[in-house]
Amino acid sequence: MKKNIAILLLIALAILGSTAFTHKPSSTAPSITDFSSMTLSLYGKRLVYFARVNKADDYHRRVYIDSAAAQLALQTGKIPVNALLVQETWENGVKTDVFIRIKKKDGQYTSGSFSPGRPDFSTSNDGGCNGCHMGAASTDVTFTAPLLTKALQRKATQTVSCNAESFHPCSATVYGGN
């Protein structure tokens, strides 16, 4: 008998518990942050445009992260595993190249590139890319990581400028943002 009462009590508790759950106000549900003002459909992906780096001459870089990674980066303050970083090179108003990096489980990145008209997201372990990017070792091997943090918090693309040429890095202060 006691056993039956215990079972009934458990069922009652379960029902109470589930109604309590379904009646939770929707405002307490985890919300997806809306980056719509900075999100674009590019190369068949949803990309959040988080940084623009203006360099010497009429040369600039536009940097994006895939939108799923952007959500996680906002929550954790870190670039998540599997994040796709995309960088476009613009010269004299023309987009010339697209470079990509994907973060791996061990914190390393694989790299790739393609021409704007022919998206190709295959990547490999490229020592040439990694070598220069080690200059940004303190910011997750990603020069623009501090700009990503600011852009996600402010929900606005961050623009910085320096007089370095093309691939040459600006100073860390510049990538720290405004």
Site for ligand HEC, rule CB under 6 A = 53, 61, 63, 85-87, 99-101, 111-113, 126, 128-129, 132-133, 142-144, 167, 169-170
Q: Quick one: tokens of 158?
A: 């961050």
Shortest distance, CB of residue 16 to ligand HEC, whole angstroms?
A: 51
CA distance 140 to 106: 12
Shortest distance, CB of residue 36 to ligand HEC, whole angstroms?
A: 22
Q: Residue 15: which residues within 8 A CB-CB, separation 6 or more?
A: none
39 vs 113 by CB, closer to ligand HEC: 113
Contact 98, 86 (CB under 8 A): yes
16 vs 81 by CB, closer to ligand HEC: 81
Shortest distance, CB of residue 163 to ligand HEC, whole angstroms?
A: 11
Tell me which DSSP letter residue 31 carries: P
35 vs 147 by CB, closer to ligand HEC: 147
CA distance 47 to 66: 4
Q: Quick one: tokens of 129?
A: 């890319």
Classify 145 in phi/psi space as left (phi over 0), alpha (psi -120 to 50) or beta: alpha
Shortest distance, CB of residue 45 to ligand HEC, whole angstroms?
A: 13
91 vs 126 by CB, closer to ligand HEC: 126
b/e per residue 27-40 (b: at least 16 CB within 10 A): eeeeeeeebeebbe
Contact 113, 97 (CB under 8 A): yes
Shortest distance, CB of residue 13 to ligand HEC, whole angstroms?
A: 51
Shortest distance, CB of residue 65 to ligand HEC, whole angstroms?
A: 8
14 vs 63 by CB, closer to ligand HEC: 63
26 vs 171 by CB, closer to ligand HEC: 171
